[in-house]
Chain A
Amino acid sequence: MSDAVLTAIRSSVLVVLPEIEPEQVTEEVSLTDLGANSIDRVDVVTMTMDTLGISLSVTEFTDVHDIGSLARLLRRHTP
């Protein structure tokens, strides 16, 4: 829970969904579970990629279904 990718995801979630507590952002939950609507979800993903300095195509996200699978995808592309 302390790697750069998860930290970046957590920071983005806290900006987009200020009512969420940091400890609620775990690999086991989805953004929808945290109350994110469609815009919130895409905001979290794009802000996290900005933070990490990476850019992925939409086709890469096919298997993303929760924060854990998002983190695994981003880790594979983070230098």
Chain B
Amino acid sequence: MGYGIEGLNVYTGLAQIPVPELFAGRGLEHERLANLAMTHRSIGLPFEDPVTNAVNAAKPLVDALDPADREAVEVLITSTESGLDLSKSVASYVHEYLGLSRNCRVFEAKQACFRGDRRAQLATGYLASGASPGAKALVVATDVALVDARAGYAEPATGHGAAAVLLSDRPTVLELDLGAFGLYSYETLDSARPTPEFDIADVDRSLFAYLDCLTNSFADYRTRVEGADFLGTFDRLAMHTPFSGLVKAAHRKLMREAGASPAQAEEDFERRVRPSLAYPAQVGNLCSGSVYLALASLLATDPVDAALRIGLYSYGSGCSAEFFSGVAGPASAEAVRAMDIGGHLAGRRRLAFDEYTALLPENLRTLVPVENRTVDVDRYARYLPGDRTLLVHTRTKDYHRMYEWR
């Protein structure tokens, strides 16, 4: 019996700013746009937080389950670098608003952007252990952006949203290759979120660590999977995508290490990697959900007319990385396309630069713990889509976050 991803959905927010407009507004060098290779960036709104993003990503997957299958969700893990409390998990709220069974394990995990993937691997291992036949696990990777002008070129690259992954013994979207994984982790301070109000990043260190971990986690994968090779084993690749230029550099590095010429690498990139970058280029770095945004992009924009083995790479600053793989096919593409992520991307409301900067002071307070606070949802109600109901953050009372469906 196979195990893996039964359902995949990504919530990418309700507002966007064209990246060239953000470059112009900040006075960033236009020629560096090509390196980012991004067209738009998702922007959060004051009524959105890691809980609303997670619930809005997972709700369509949960709603599609019949009552018995919903009861079978006995593990809920939120993966985030946007925690709301040092003790209480984001998952506790998400569990409530998704209406999941009380007979469920609920917890939050953190390792920067090394997100849902590890959680998904561990949860899949649990499902495959036979400890609870028929059980399902829901992993939601959710984040908000804390960047402004101080972040320099990281500002236009940072996304907003969440990816939800439902795992079970019916892996319609991706059957994971159990036992096929490679790991690599060590301590370094390449990027971090030392307070709830800003991020720090050492760009060179972070890029180096990302590439170093790719080479070494793939080397570890090869020790576990006999005959695996970067050129021939995988039909497609989906990687954690801080920005497309880094994914291209990562692919080029592994191709070089596998003995391919620059021309081969270029052709291979267009065929095996390009489909995974369509959505990330419109969203920005989704942090802990990034590799799943790349996977959704691949499955929604590639023809996927046959079974494809997909190599996936996840990296989280600090740092910890994993290379793993799975098999998808036409039914996978159909399941992901039914979520209409592309339609929701196109439906985001466009922000002018001054509208964007006006949102920042309130957005940067999203994660700050306060005893009481009211969010003026009506002031931003024009951003809400008319065709679906979403969870919004309305207020915080005695440190307890309150939410409503709108």
Contacts and interface: CB of A to CB of B under 8 A. Distances in A.
A14 interface: no
Interface string A36-57: 0111011101110010000001
Contacts of B375: none
Interface residues of A, number: 14
A43 B211 CA distance: 10
A58 interface: yes
B245 A39 contact: yes
Contacts of B153: 38
A44 B325 CA distance: 29
A38 B190 CA distance: 14
B95 to A, nearest CB: 37
Tell me the interface secondary structure of chain B in the complex: helix
Contacts of B205: 58, 61
A58 B246 contact: no
Contacts of A43: 249, 252-253
Q: Which of A38, A45, A47 has most B Cβ within 10 Å?
A: A38
B257 A50 contact: yes
B212 A39 contact: no
Interface residues of B, number: 22
A58 B209 contact: yes
A59 interface: yes
B256 A38 contact: no
B207 interface: yes
Nearest to B208: A58
Given A61-B204, A61-B205, A39 B246 contact: yes
B256 A50 contact: yes
B192 to A, nearest CB: 14
Interface of A: 37-39, 41-43, 45-47, 50, 57-59, 61
20 contacts: A38-B203, A38-B204, A38-B207, A39-B207, A39-B245, A39-B248, A39-B249, A41-B204, A41-B207, A42-B207, A42-B208, A42-B211, A43-B249, A43-B252, A46-B208, A46-B211, A47-B256, A58-B188, A58-B190, A58-B208
Given A39-B245, A39-B246, A39-B248, 17 more contacts: A38-B203, A38-B207, A41-B204, A41-B207, A42-B249, A43-B252, A43-B253, A46-B211, A46-B253, A50-B257, A58-B208, A58-B209, A58-B212, A59-B186, A59-B188, A61-B204, A61-B208
